[in-house]
Amino acid sequence: MSDRRMVFQENRLWLPFEALPANLPVEASLRLPEGWLAQRVSPGQAVPLGVEALGLRDAHPRMAQEDWLQAGRAYQWLEWEGGHRFCGGCASALKPGEGQGRRCPACGRTVFPSNATAIIVLIHRGEGGRRQWALARSPHFKPGVYSAVAGFTEPGESLEECVHREVAEELGIRIQRLSYFGSQPWPFPNGLMVGFTAEYLDGELQADPSELEDARWFGRDDMPPLPSPISIARWMIDAALDVR
C-alpha cells in the first residue's frame, strides 16, 4: 500500500495523513498516477483518534499546495466513480472500461470522467488611480464578500460566448477586449474554472436579482471582503491590484 494515502468520508478529508490507520474498511479505492492512494469510507465509520475530518476548504491551510491539489483531484475521481455505478441507458452495473472509463457489459455504452466547466471574468473600467472593477455578491457567499462574475458553459457554447452571455445576463452590461487569465480545477464537487479579464464597453451595471444580491464598481481603495485565497477569483483580483 502506498505511504501517500488520503481518506475521504463523504466530502471531508481525514488529516493528518501520518495518523491514518493502516487497515480501514473502505467503500472505494483508487490510485492516482502521482503515487497517491485515495480511499472512501462509509459515513458511519468512526473518525480515528488523532485524526480530524475536514472539508477541502478548511483543510487547505493545513496542507502543502501540491498535496491539496492532489486531494481535490482524488475527491473528484471518487465522486465521479460513486455517481457512475450504473448505466444511464439500461441501468446495468458498469464495469472498468478502456482507460479511465466505465463500460456497460449489457449495451456497450462507455462513460469517461468529465468536468463541469465554468467561466469567471473580472471586468474593469477606467485607468490609473481611477480604475474600478465590477464585483458581485451571490446569496451563497459569506457575509459581505464580493467576487468576479462566474457561470457554467451551456451545450454548444464556446468559452468566449459564455463570458459575454453571463455578463449580459447577470450584470446587464457589455464587455470588450476579452483576455485569458488562467484556469483552476475546482473540486466542489467537479468543476473546472476558466478565468478571463475584460474591459467594460457599455450599459448600466445592474445585478440580476434571480442570481445575485448586488453588483457594484469598486476601486482599489474601497474593495469589499474578497473570496478565499485558494480561488482563482482571488488570484485574478490580487493580480489586478498588483498584490500577488
Q: What are 42-86's pLDDT values in tens digits?
A: 999 999 999 999 999 999 999 998 899 999 999 998 999 889 999
pLDDT surpasses 60 at 1: no
b/e map 123-159, b = 16+ CB within 10 Å = bbbeeeeeebbbbbbbeeeeeebbbbbbbebeeeeee
DSSP E strands in the chain: the ranges are 5-9, 12-15, 26-31, 37-41, 52-55, 95-96, 102-103, 110-111, 116-125, 132-137, 149-152, 173-186, 191-203, 214-219
Residue 174: CB atoms within 10 Å: 13
Grid cell at residue 145: 464578500
The stretch 95-118 carries a mean pLDDT of: 93
Domain 116-241, second-level architecture: Alpha-Beta Complex (3.90)
pLDDT surpasses 50 at 2: no
What is the pLDDT, as a whole number, of residue 145?
98
Each domain of the chain, given as residue ranges in start order, spans: 5-82, 84-113, 116-241
The stretch 31-42 carries a mean pLDDT of: 87
What is the pLDDT, as a whole number, of residue 148?
99
Residues with Cβ within 8 Å of residue 36, at least 6 apart in sequence:
2, 4, 5, 6, 70, 74
What is the pLDDT, as a whole number, of residue 244?
38
Output the pTM of the full model: 0.87
What is the pLDDT, as a whole number, of residue 29?
86
Q: What are 212-236's pLDDT values in tens digits?
A: 999 999 999 999 999 999 999 999 9
Nearest to 220 by CA among 198, 239, 200: 239
